Amino acid sequence: MALLQIFDPKARAVPIGIDLGTTNSLVAYVVDGGVECVTDCNLSPLLPSVVYYGAHGATLVGDDARTLAALHPRETIVSVKRFMGRGADDPETRRLGPYDFVAPREGESNTVRFRVHSREVTPVEVSAEILRELKGRAEDQLRTVGGAVITVPAYFDDAQRQATKDAARLAGIEVLRLLNEPTAAALAYGLDKGRTQGTFAVYDLGGGTFDITVLSLDDGVFQVRSTGGDSQLGGDDMDRAVATVLLREMGVDDFAHASPELVRRALDAARAAKHRLTEASETTVTVARDAGEDFSRALTRAEFDAIVGPVVERTGPACKRALRDAGVKPEALDGVILVGGSTRVPLVRSFVRELFKHEPLTDIDPDQVVAFGAALQADMLAGEGPREDALILDVIPLSLGIETMGGVAEKILTRNTTIPAGRAQLFTTYADNQTGFVIHVVQGEREMAVDNRSLATFTLKGIPPMAAGLARLEVTFRVDADGMLDVTAKELTTGVEQRVEVKPSYGLEADDVERMLMESFEHAESDLAARQLRERVIEAEQVIAATQKAVGIDGDLLDEDERAELDGALAALRDAVAKGDRNAIHHRTEGLDRAATPLAERRMNRAVKRAMSGHALKEFEDELDARPTHPHLVGDGHTH
């Protein structure tokens, strides 16, 4: 007798974990206390992250799409993750593939658009096709699918994270949480392998992104201690390096001088050779020319290592910095977890072994470990199984703050702050009768705002005119568990408030994170000097303005010699400001303060006499200048 599977419509929706990868994507779930990946009809858990758009609206995803990439390179989108959250005018965008990009029209957002036949698609739409296919696979196997935890590189910024959420929404998936890929891998090793204690480094080299994370595991608490990486570095760069050599040997100088079809064939041949050289010491690479006889040559593993070595070595500085930030020496680690298909390359494994002084952990398939961790997290968030008590404490990869007077970047949430996190800081006005604040949100480690990345700008209006220094602006930054930033600005005396979810129109450029951190170290001394100079100039200008105002009102209180001394001190301070001499500004500000002391005392006496004569306090209160200790920042902030 044949047995039929009975579908129970009341069965619980199974939460899933999705690894939305650059090269391949996976979906996993928890069953009977273990984790399994959803497989296709060939029992493969990997779905190639490739989407083909046909001339008449048909769409293919996965292996079928990948087979068409060489014939239809412009209509087949490969490695779309590298375009997520990027700008259309980003030079790196056009380097990444043989596509027909559409320039944004007036009034449109500055986002990447691919022209495929008569339609235009964005990276979000392409990613949605991949997510839709993953969801369909899961439904075929599980019948009813619940919410999903979707993993993202730790160094994805707000725009890239938001783009991932948008793609999930288009695919009809409820996002339970965005989880950083290295944290997901650590979760899989900690929970699925029964580890309860230790400090680990997670080296995650995928097709298009690299992350390095140092975290500690203590009885179910996963504390990320530092993170680093590059959102535009991965196995694709190895393929490009090999393909560049192949094209040059074929007589083509670079990708720009090759047809899109030839570029795709060279990249595919390079990737296939990389895979074969994981096991073999030598292979043959063949690339079909546009016309004429095919190009073919032998490639040894030693040659391959020499070609891709610079790509692998680019991961080194971020690893060393992450260890330094975490205060951990390589020898003190309990293990190094490898994540991502690119870590199968023997050169990568030997590089990691030498750098960290540990044999890398490969207990779990590096292609599947992130999906496993995402599934475990989804299971926890759904309240299923025995793992509800595990706690994940992730961190912010780059400092967040606002621009203050003089272009100074005031950090509100610093790099490697544990999330979710919130912090408020108080600021005040620089000029009299100021009725609004322009809040410029920046990201980075430099002391001056112009040297950091601009995230958003908004204006707080409707503040009644007040003397400089009397307004109290509280700026609150909140970063949620998904790493998304929310900024609130509130003027405390009036209650006027403005809130913005920071969603920049495109993501970090290639190597931006690495560059921003390296520059913060390289320019630390000069940045600090520039910041101190700007702060002293601002203070001096405010003192000059306050002194001139006081002289204008009550100058008659000074005799001729006192007035001459005060004018001389004013002139000296103006001269120091003009020359930009930090130390001279400091000393001459103190000199002006001493020269103005007699006037300040006599103004106070005059004010007291007026009050005693029956005048209301308000009549002379506005005439007195309250000099704030800092022109903008008036508090040390507090956390939520």
CATH code assigned at 249:
3.90.640.10
What distance in Å separates the CA atoms of residue 74 and residue 86, rounded to the nearest whole number?
A: 19
Residues forming the active site: 19, 81, 181, 204
Residue 601 lies in a domain: yes
405 lies in the same domain as 497: yes
Is the pLDDT at 214 greater than 80, yes or no? Answer: yes
Length of the chain: 640
Q: Give the CATH number, domain containing residue 421.
A: 2.60.34.10
Residue 628 lies in a domain: no
Q: If DSSP codes are grouped into helix, strand and coil, which group holds residue 176? A: strand
Which amino acid type is present at position 433? N
Last residue of a domain, one of 297, 312, 327: 312
289 lies in the same domain as 332: no
431 lies in the same domain as 565: no
Percent helix, percent strand, percent coil in the chain, to nearest 5: 40, 25, 35
471 lies in the same domain as 593: no
| Tokens, residue 26 | 């996976």
Q: If DSSP codes are grouped into helix, strand and coil, which group holds residue 300? A: strand
Q: Which of 6-10, 120-124, 395-399, 582-586 has the highest mean pLDDT?
A: 120-124
228 lies in the same domain as 240: no
Q: Tell me if 440 sits within 8 A of 510, measured CB to CB.
A: no
Angle in degrees, CA 217, 219, 224, rounded to 5: 25
Residue 256 lies in a domain: yes
Which amino acid type is present at position 401? G
Q: Number of folded domains in the chain?
A: 4
Residue 119 confidence class, pLDDT cut points 50, 70, 90: confident
Q: What is the pLDDT of residue 628?
A: 33
Q: Quickly list H helices, 171-217.
A: 181-187
The total of other beta-carbon atoms located within 10 Å of residue 11's CB is 11
Residue 540 lies in a domain: yes
339 lies in the same domain as 427: no
Phi, psi of 35 (to 5 degrees): -115, 135
499 lies in the same domain as 599: no
462 lies in the same domain as 389: no
The more confidently predicted of residues 13 and 27 is: 27
- Average pLDDT of the segment spanning 101-108: 75
Last residue of a domain, one of 374, 395, 416: 395
Is the pLDDT at 637 greater than 50, yes or no? Answer: no
Residue 3 lies in a domain: no
pLDDT digit string, tens, across residues 56-92: 778 899 998 988 888 888 999 998 988 887 776 666 6
The more confidently predicted of residues 22 and 461 is: 22
Is the pLDDT at 2 greater than 60, yes or no? Answer: no
Residue 275 confidence class, pLDDT cut points 50, 70, 90: very high
373 lies in the same domain as 499: no
Q: What is the pLDDT of residue 612?
A: 63
Q: Give the CATH number, domain containing residue 116.
A: 3.30.420.40
Residue 629 lies in a domain: no
Residue 5 lies in a domain: no
500 lies in the same domain as 603: no
pLDDT digit string, tens, across residues 484-501: 788 888 888 788 887 766
The total of other beta-carbon atoms located within 10 Å of residue 406's CB is 20
Kindly tell me the burial class for residue 331, based on how many C-beta atoms sit within 10 Å of its own C-beta (0-12, 13-18, 19 or more): exposed
Q: What is the pLDDT of residue 285?
A: 96
What distance in Å separates the CA atoms of residue 225 and residue 227, rounded to the nearest whole number?
A: 7
Please give the C-alpha separations between residue 491 and each of 274, 463, 464, 465, in angstroms, as whole numbers: 58, 8, 10, 12
Phi, psi of 561 (to 5 degrees): -65, -40
Is the pLDDT at 504 greater than 60, yes or no? Answer: no
Could you please report the per-residue DSSP string of 572-587? Answer: HHHHHHHHT-HHHHHH
pLDDT digit string, tens, across residues 588-630: 888 888 888 888 888 887 777 776 665 555 544 444 433 333 3
% of the chain exceeding 90 in pLDDT: 28
Could you please report the per-residue DSSP string of 66-126? Answer: HHTTTT-TTTEEE-GGGGTT--TT-HHHHHS-S--B-PPPTTS-S---EEETTEEE-HHHH
In 3D, which of 94, 93, 90, 112 has the Cα closest to residue 103? 112
Least confident of 302-311, 398-407, 506-515: 506-515
Domain limits for position 130: 14-233+314-395
Is the pLDDT at 445 greater than 90, yes or no? Answer: no
Last residue of a domain, one of 395, 411, 439: 395
Q: Tell me if 239 sits within 8 A of 271, measured CB to CB.
A: yes
Which amino acid type is present at position 324? R
Residue 513 confidence class, pLDDT cut points 50, 70, 90: very low
21 lies in the same domain as 118: yes
Is the pLDDT at 555 greater than 90, yes or no? Answer: no
What distance in Å separates the CA atoms of residue 537 and residue 587, rounded to the nearest whole number?
A: 12
| Tokens, residue 228 | 């680093």
pLDDT digit string, tens, across residues 352-393: 999 999 999 888 899 999 999 999 999 988 876 544 455 566
Q: Give the CATH number, domain containing residue 565.
A: 1.20.1270.10
What distance in Å separates the CA atoms of residue 48 and residue 58, rounded to the nearest whole number?
A: 18
Least confident of 9-23, 404-418, 528-542: 528-542
Residue 486 lies in a domain: yes
Please enumerate in sequence order all residues whose Cβ is within 8 A of that of 253, keeping only pairs 6 or more positions apart, or say none: 247
Residue with tokens 């000074």: 558
Range 38-60 burial, b when 16+ CB lie within 10 A, else e? beeeeeebbbbbbbbbeeeeeeb
| Tokens, residue 386 | 């025995």
Residue with tokens 């990869």: 397
Instruction: Give kind and range of the element (H or E) at residue 130.
Output: helix 123-142
In 3D, which of 87, 63, 61, 72 has the Cα closest to residue 171? 61
200 lies in the same domain as 128: yes
